[in-house]
Amino acid sequence: MSKKVDNNRNFKSISGDSLEEFYSSKNNEESYDVNPGTYPYTRGIHKNMYRGKLWTMRQFSGFSTPEKTNERYKYLLKNGQTGLSVAYDMPTLMGYDPDHELSFGEVGVCGVNVASLEDMETLFNDIDLEKISVSQTINGPAIILFAFYVALAKKNGIDIANLRGTLQNDALKEYMAQKEWIFPPEPSVKLVVDIIEYCSENMPLYNPVSVSGYHIREAGSTAAQELAFTLNNGFAYVDETLKRGLAIDSFAHRLSFFFNAHMDFFEEIAKYRAARRIWAKRLKEKYGAKEESSLKLKFHTQTAGCSLTAQQPENNIVRTAFEAMSAVLGGTNSLHTNSLDETLALPSEKAAKIALRTQQILAYETGVPNVADPLGGSWYVEELTDKIEKQAMKIFDEIEEMGGTINAIEDGYFQKKIGESASIFQESVDSKERVIVGVNDFVDENEEIDIEILKISKDAQLTQEEKIKKLRNSRDKVQLNTKMKKLSDACKKDLNLVPFLIEVAEAGATVGEIVEVMKEVYGEWQETFGI
């Protein structure tokens, strides 16, 4: 085991910014001595924050078949989880049915496989969708899975106006970071706006898009880049929705965000505070929002997957706890805590419980939620908040100079910036300028991993293939073809697709079949940057 010499420690943030030895009042150029719940909401969107209501504990989960994931959901709810979050597998994310040649070996491996309304019904069997908030992480085919969800609610006699939840429906970040796209940027943004419009008219409690910075950070961005790129995408959706003719206060309050909680404790707290401030100012000053609810940025946080290590995986419990605390001190509205084993496999039942218990200990034992914004007035935190805001505003100007988000994507701006930041960080790890315990220092040379590993049975592939075969043989093909033709025409006429997708879902269409119809109109996207 090696030992780190203290005088070689790195006094820079994870983002690479140099830190002063201490901070004082001279560092704070602007005073934001306002109460929590007061514009620009730097200190939180509610006056009493968690004294009024704790954050939603929403563990991201899904694996194998809808049946297996349904069992996991019931297990987590039994153990105190307060919201559901669906993780879909790669075939579903990419719009392929389980029997497609590109799905082989991937069905149920990194999430749950859902190919039809029937699968969606199984996934939420015996779970009251009127009483629980459900988040879904799905991007390219987000509008399709959303339609399945709405169709399921209608089938169960639920008034969709009562549905609560969030759809990770942020297409733009796919081209920047996650790379799980289907259609080109412009029609993808159009589909996002379709859902925003549909929800504003029919589902007032539902968040139609979760603008995601999480994957931008996972790809290697700095904290300021994560914040700026994410908010920029949010503003892009605002612009496109306004073009559709909707008033700003009719939808802005239902836009939500999704941020990463990384290991630099205070930098993350400052990032969340800056996010609320920037959003409030921009919505008020540029877009003319009048309602307080439009100005209040709501966000979900997930602890950093990229901070987890395969070496000494038990250390990941500690990492996750610190990251979760930064999210709570930063005022998150809901939270997912990663499991200790996620660099090795999907979470085991035991690991998932430990991750949930981490949130519960934070909520009920530490005293952290007892006071709103307890770090408000900290010279260091206030300075960091101001600094990240300034860095983000500079990035907004750069994107605007390039002609907007889609132009910047096509020119490779976001991809280049993230790549540069990722490279700088990795160099600091490789040189040991930045210590990662158990990886480049304090290493156990003869370590043996002794934790339970969840193994996905190959039966998941066979089960899902058999179900989809039965579905295709049992449905009314004439009715299905009629509905699919209507969907195709709606794509060509640039209509809102949600009602048409609900109809084809009810007729038994599969994810893959629907995607193929949409591809015929919208095409597919091939990244040219870097080629």
Specify the pLDDT at position 2: 46
Give, in order, the Cα–Cα distances in Å from 390 to each of 17, 24, 395, 424: 13, 19, 9, 21
Query: Quick one: pLDDT at residue 77?
Result: 94
Does the structure show a pLDDT above 50 at 5? no
Q: What are phi and psi of 314, to 5 degrees?
A: -60, -25
Task: Look at residue 28 in the predicted model and tell me its pLDDT.
Answer: 67
Choose the weakest-confidence range: 5-14, 68-77, 498-507.
5-14
Q: What is the pTM of this model?
A: 0.93
Question: Which residue ranges form the domains of the chain, and what is each CATH number?
Answer: 55-407 (3.20.20.240)
Q: Which helix (H) or strand (E) holds 134?
A: strand 134-137
Instruction: Give the C-alpha distances (Å, rounded to integers) separating 341 from 305, 401, 458.
Output: 11, 43, 21
Question: Which residues does 204 contact at the CB level (< 8 Å), separation at least 6?
Answer: 161, 254
Residues 42, 256, 109, CA angle at the centre, nearest 5°? 125
Q: Could you tell me which residues are beta bridge partners of residue 255?
A: 209
What's the pLDDT tens digit per position in 452-492?
888 888 899 999 999 999 999 999 999 999 999 999 999 99
What percent of the chain lies above the pLDDT cut of 70? 96
For the four alpha carbons of 45, 257, 414 and 430, in that order, the dihedral sign comes to: positive
Residues 6+ away with beta carbon under 8 Å from 470: none
**The predicted structure's pLDDT at residue 530:** 56
